Amino acid sequence: MNNVLAVGPFKEEQKKRLEEAGKGCSFRFCADFNGAGVSPEEIASADVIIGNLTPSRINESPRLKLMQLTSAGADAYVKPGVLAKGTVLCNSTGAYNKTVSQHAFAVTLAMQKKLYLYRDNQNEKLWRDEGEVGSIADSTVLVMGLGEIGIAYAKMCKALGAYVIGVKRRPSACPEGIDEVYTMDALDEVLPRADIVFSILPGTGATYHIYTAERFKLMKKSAIFVNCGRGDAVDNKVLYDALNSGEIAAASIDVAEGEPLTADSPLWGLKNLFITPHVAGFFHIPDTLEIITDIACHNLKAFLSGGSYRNIVDFSTGYKA
Amino acid sequence: MNNVLAVGPFKEEQKKRLEEAGKGCSFRFCADFNGAGVSPEEIASADVIIGNLTPSRINESPRLKLMQLTSAGADAYVKPGVLAKGTVLCNSTGAYNKTVSQHAFAVTLAMQKKLYLYRDNQNEKLWRDEGEVGSIADSTVLVMGLGEIGIAYAKMCKALGAYVIGVKRRPSACPEGIDEVYTMDALDEVLPRADIVFSILPGTGATYHIYTAERFKLMKKSAIFVNCGRGDAVDNKVLYDALNSGEIAAASIDVAEGEPLTADSPLWGLKNLFITPHVAGFFHIPDTLEIITDIACHNLKAFLSGGSYRNIVDFSTGYKA
């Protein structure tokens, strides 16, 4: 019999769907996001793990055949020592499109309209006009990373009248909803054109510290930088300096290099930086866990019947293959 | 010779356009929004005033033939004692569609995503997850007031997947981008359905204190109320109680009953209220003053040549006729 270990806040109806898809398997559910309540024996005896069990606890388990992440990011699981050779790794790319793109778009508009300043003013009981604001309909938006989230975000910008430039890893035809598309080598040429730079790059070697001090200098002084991808795409010190010196007008980050940000980080106190604590994704809108359940059900069936998996991760890139 | 008094921060190019449209007239420009630098003699000798000169200074000036407001709201100018009988009053309906609808939409998304709480947390250096958030794509949005701003806002909501219900004064076919339309008498039936209640009602007798305590009780406990219309559509005390007692989840106001809000108003300190100081409109995006100039040029020409005016205000309603 196959043992399925499912960690995460699945609802009863979702658990039933998983059990139906994995008929004949023995199920162990654990509501903790990272499976803190699961024993080492339960991990070692699992044939399938659904959910983001803490990677350091997997120890290349030889019995594990399918590791179905509830996250889109897979970087912590492709590192050596986590999964044994032969374990199939699938992510939940797709499940977070709506929640992350919505958050990023809400933050983009909030930054343009200086809502973070108005909240600070409110807390000082100040009825004070903060002057000119941005207009999404008159903005050029640079979307760094044209996965499904990037494209969903781009479509929202476009729907409100923005001009959208996309940058992606591999050359391709221009996706619908994007006005111009480039590969990474053109980055320095397109950065100066953007009113908004939205980064939804995954964490890979190629994206580590990609936003250098020089690149912030290439951006408009009026530019707004929004990062909902990975924190290590920009060095915290570089981001601090770019904002503190006015190289760019403002930024919002849902991710930081080193999470959670410690209380001594100078980033907290920057007036023109708005911080959200990695909440764009997670399960904060109901849709997300529904779609994850869909993917997990499909892959459980594929595991049992020898069908083809959805969202297999390529270990060499950390992306969906 | 006709004297034209133009108050407001018109740019050089816009002044030239006005002078061209009013060829042969004598122009007096004053950059103050409300014409504070203009003398009583200049007001008394004006045949045309462009801009929102302080209403109490007009004193039914017998010479004034055309009063062209730079605002959309005209309530302060239709009151007795301001304009003499026979003065044509025109507003700038249309000029604020983009800026106000954008602000309202940005605020709506920001409220759904709890960004005001995250800003407060940031100021306390707190990396803390605030849990579930709203999804515009899964929301029912009630738009109170289907003028051009209401419709522009509705289209943005619709573009992001919301279901939109509109409420307006007069019966009409359902405008494009609205799923259902009702007149005011159906208000109490539609309030319980809304996740978002957006008010863009003008200040008239019929809209005074329209959002009563009973109506806040009719709304969902999870509802978000956004007011960018007129402050006196809701009594400050009623709004305070609805938010403080949790009748609704949160609200954002760009307008208040009695502006500016004084420092002793209890509204400032409500955690679930986000206040912006009547900044949705004004001239905060460049488009606005451009469109106002278009309208003023048209009406100057109409005044001189006897053509028909744009945006004439009906004194009995305070609306564009």
Q: What is the ipTM of this complex?
A: 0.90
Asked if the C-beta of A222 comes within 8 angstroms of chain B's C-beta atoms, the answer is: no
The Cα B162–Cα A243 span in angstroms is 35
Of A106, A263, A277, the CB nearest to B109: A106
Of A230, A241, A176, which Cα lies nearest the Cα of A206?
A230
- Give the closest residue to A111 by CA, choosing from A268, A250, A287, A221: A250
Residue with tokens 């462009």: B50
List the catalytic residue out of A57, A63, A193, A278.
A278
Domains defined along chain B, listed by start: 3-95+285-305 (3.40.50.720), 97-275 (3.40.50.720)
Residue type, B114: K
CB atoms within 10 A of CB B182: 16
Q: Judge whether A277 and A255 are in contact, CB under 8 Å.
A: no
Do residue A120 and residue B125 have CB atoms under 8 angstroms apart? Answer: no
Helix (H, G, I), strand (E, B) or coil at B214: helix
Q: Is A276 on the interface with B (CB under 8 A)?
A: yes
User: In angstroms, what CA-CA distances link B310 with B29, B90, B94, B96, B306?
Assistant: 22, 7, 11, 15, 12
User: Is the CA virtual torsion B229, B95, B279, B115 positive or negative?
Assistant: positive
Distance from the Cα of B272 to chain A's closest Cα (Å) equals: 11
- The partner residue sitting opposite A127, judged by closest CB among B122, B137, B261, is B261
pLDDT for the residue numbered A146:
94
Read off the DSSP letter of residue B241.
H
pLDDT at B318 over 80: no
CA distances to A29, B57, B62 from B79, in Å: 68, 13, 16
Asked whether the predicted pLDDT for residue B319 surpasses 80, the reply is no
Both tokens assigned to B279: 């900044």
* Amino acid (one-letter) located at A84: A
- Distinct helix (H) and strand (E) counts, chain B: 9, 12
Report the gap between the CA of A238 and the closest CA in chain B (Å): 20
Task: Test A115 with B110 for CB contact under 8 angstroms.
Answer: yes
Residues of chain A with pLDDT under 70: none
CB neighbourhood size of B147 (10 A) = 20
Catalytic residue among A230, A247, A298, A310: A230
Of A118, A277, A285, the CB nearest to B129: A277
How high is the mean pLDDT of chain B? 96
What does the pLDDT look like over B221-267, one tens digit per residue?
A: 999 999 999 999 999 999 999 999 999 999 999 999 999 999 999 99
Q: Report B:67-106 residues touching A (Cβ under 8 A).
A: 98-99, 102-103, 105-106
Check if B320 contacts A (Cβ < 8 Å). no
- Is B268's CB within 8 Å of A103's CB? no
Kindly state whether A319 is in contact with chain B, defined as any CB-CB distance less than 8 angstroms.
no
Q: Show residues of chain A in contact with B125, CB under 8 Å.
A: 261, 263, 265, 268
Is residue A204 a contact partner of residue A318, using CB atoms and an 8 Å limit? Answer: yes
Which residue of B lies nearest to A110 if distances are taken between CA atoms? B106
What single letter denotes the amino acid at residue B267? L
Please report residues of B whose CB lies closer than 8 A to that of A287. Answer: 135, 138
Tens digit of each residue's pLDDT (9 = 90 or more) over A266-309? 999 999 999 999 999 999 999 999 999 999 999 999 999 999 99
Can you give the three-state secondary structure of chain A, one letter per residue? CCEEEEECCCCHHHHHHHHHHCCCCEEEEECCCCCCCCCHHHHHCCCEEECCCCHHHCCCCCCCCEEECCCCCCHHHCCCCCCCCCCEEECCCCCCHHHHHHHHHHHHHHHHCCHHHHHHHHHCCCCCCCCCCCCHHHCEEEEECCCHHHHHHHHHHHHCCCEEEEEECCCCCCCCCCCEEEEHHHHHHHHHHCCEEEECCCCCHHHCCCCCHHHHHHCCCCCEEEECCCHHHCCHHHHHHHHHCCCCCEEEECCCCCCCCCCCCHHHHCCCEEECCCCCCCCCCCHHHHHHHHHHHHHHHHHHHCCCCCCEECCCCCCEC
Q: Which two tokens stand for residue A14?
A: 């979702």
What length is written for chain A? Answer: 321
Cis bond upstream, residue B260 (ω within 30): yes
Please tell me the distance from the alpha carbon of residue B169 to that of residue B229, in angstroms, as a whole number.
15
The structure tokens 């509705």 sit at B154
Hey, is the C-beta of A192 within 8 angstroms of any chain B C-beta? no
State both tokens at A257.
């290099």
Q: Which residue among A115, A131, A135 places its CB closest to the CB of B115?
A: A115
Residue B202 in this model has a pLDDT that exceeds 90 = no
Radius of gyration of chain A from its Cα atoms, rounded to whole angstroms: 21
Tokens 């909501």 map to which residue? B157
| Cβ neighbours of B137 (radius 10 Å) | 17
Above 80 in pLDDT, residue B92?
A: yes
Q: Which residues of B are catalytic?
A: 230, 259, 278
Q: Is the dihedral of CA A51, A55, A59, A60 positive or negative?
A: positive
pLDDT by residue (tens digit) across A111-160?
A: 999 999 999 999 999 999 999 999 999 999 999 999 989 999 999 999 99
* From A125, A135, A287, residue closest to B285, measured CB to CB: A135
Distances (CA, A) of A177 to A154, A157, A163, A166, B283: 7, 9, 9, 10, 30
pLDDT digits (tens, 9 = 90+) for B121-140: 999 999 999 999 999 999 99
The minimum CA-CA distance between B79 and chain A, rounded to whole Å, is 27
Rounded to whole angstroms, how far apart are CA atoms A2 and A46?
A: 7
pLDDT at B198: 98
Is A133–B261 a contact, with Cβ atoms under 8 angstroms apart? no
Q: Which two tokens mark A67?
A: 């590791």
Give the up-direction half-sphere exposure of residue A287: CA atoms within 13 A in the CB hemisphere. 17
Answer whether A187 touches B (CB < 8 Å).
Answer: no
Q: Which of B122, B136, B279 sits opposite A274 (nearest CB)?
A: B122
Pick from B98, B107, B119: which is nearest to A135 by CB? B98
* pLDDT recorded at residue B116: 98
Type of residue at A209:
H
Q: CB–CB of B251/B226 below 8 Å? A: yes
Residues of B in contact with A115 (CB under 8 A): 106-107, 110, 115-116, 119, 274, 276
Provide the residue type at A5 as one letter. L
Instruction: Count CB pairs under 8 A between chains A and B.
Output: 149
| Amino acid residing at A111 | M
Burial of B34 (0-12, 13-18, 19+ CB in 10 A): middle
Neighbour tally for A40: CB within 10 Å? 10
> pTM of the prediction?
0.90
Q: Scan residues 140-169 of A and list those with Cβ closer than 8 Å to B.
A: 156, 159-160
To the nearest whole angstrom, how far is the Cα of B229 from the nearest Cα of chain A?
A: 17
B109 vs A105: CB contact, 8 Å cut-off? yes
**What pLDDT sits at residue A6?**
98
Q: Is A290 a catalytic residue?
A: no
Query: ∠ CA(A120), CA(A123), CA(A124), 5° rounding?
Result: 95
DSSP B75-98: GGGSSTTTS-TT-EEE--TTTTHH
Among B133, B195, B290, which would you mutate to test the A interface (most chain A Cβ atoms within 10 Å of its Cβ)?
Answer: B133
